[in-house]
């Protein structure tokens, strides 16, 4: 959240628009982006509720109830073991992506389905996509290539021509 405050205050200095902030992450970064966006601001309660305009989650894990809590930073004050049951708000739109080969983390497709259903249950706009011919480590490939269904969905969400 502290990073979001800095981003909001300084994005204009770098050619960005503070009214058009989108978050994305891959793997653990997707879990963190989801936790920051889908939960209430705690460290920075003055941030506007609608600061994040969209969220793109690539190959994340959002339900860690079967994990060893000792390895999962359970002592962190904002930690929730199962984000799918702890969603407090949703951005205007979320895109959830997993790949057609998640053999490195076989629970990712199930996690993608669960976070998608949880966002829908909260009334949020969400779409789930599968990145073809990719594995966990290349899930955001379509961004680098600038084509494909995932790229087009992101471009549409961000209203880019």
- What pLDDT was estimated at residue 79? 76
Residue 42: beta bridge partners? none
List pLDDT tens digits, range 13-29: 999 999 999 999 999 99
pLDDT for the residue numbered 81: 87
Q: What is the mean pLDDT of residues 53-59?
A: 98
Q: Which residues of 116-135 are buried (b: 16+ CB within 10 A; e: fewer)?
A: bebbeeeebebbbbbbeebb
Least confident segment among 71-80, 87-96, 133-142: 71-80
Read off the pLDDT of residues 64-91 as tens digits, 9 standing for 90 and up: 888 765 555 556 666 788 999 999 999 9
Q: Pick from 128, 62, 58, 131: which is nearest to 93 by CA?
A: 128
Q: Percentage of the chain with pLDDT > 90?
A: 80
**Rounded CA gap, 83 and 80, in Å?**
6
* Alpha carbons 148 and 151: distance in angstroms, whole number: 5
pTM for the structure as a whole: 0.92
CA distances from 54 to 19, 70, 98, 105, 136 (A): 11, 32, 17, 25, 22
- pLDDT for 23-53, tens place per residue? 999 999 999 999 999 998 877 778 898 999 9
């Amino acid at each position: 959240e502290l990073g979001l405050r800095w981003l909001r205050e300084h994005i204009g200095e770098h050619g960005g628009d503070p009214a058009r902030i989108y978050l994305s992450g891959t793997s653990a970064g997707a879990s963190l982006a989801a936790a920051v966006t889908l939960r209430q601001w705690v460290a920075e309660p003055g941030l506007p509720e609608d600061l994040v305009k969209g969220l793109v989650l690539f190959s994340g894990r959002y339900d860690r109830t079967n994990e060893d809590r000792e390895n999962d930073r359970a002592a962190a004050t904002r930690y929730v073991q199962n984000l799918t049951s702890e969603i407090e708000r949703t951005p205007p739109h979320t895109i959830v992506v997993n790949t057609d080969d998640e053999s490195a983390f076989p629970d990712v497709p199930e996690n993608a389905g669960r976070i998608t259903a949880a966002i829908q249950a909260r009334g949020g706009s969400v779409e789930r996509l599968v990145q073809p011919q990719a594995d966990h480590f290349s899930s955001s490939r379509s961004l680098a290539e600038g084509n494909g269904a995932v790229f087009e969905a992101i471009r549409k969400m961000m209203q880019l021509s």
